[in-house]
Structure 1
């Protein structure tokens, strides 16, 4: 990996990827809330965690 120097502060690239994945997750959560309300998703916390890990993997793959 690496880091980016922003005004003398080193920011890891993985942190930037994690923030981007979180923003994408929030957009998906708004779309999938209807499924949670209809009980199509049994454990939404675990489901959203798994979706976040998949999104983070995809964002990391795009950065490579």
Structure 2
């Protein structure tokens, strides 16, 4: 299936405007959980220094 995933990525411990970014991608995955995992990898953000918030996962 093809999913559209939208994430908000923040640097851990920070809430300033420049420490936050929106990331949206389209991925092919077997499940919504796998789609989110792929989107996090594709974003290039380090999970040890960044926090991910899932805005939506939509099958298209």
TM > 0.5 fold call: no
TM-score normalised over the length of structure 2: 0.34
The TM-score with structure 1 as length reference comes to 0.33
- Normalized per residue, the structure richer in helix is 1
Q: Which has the larger radius of gyration?
A: 1
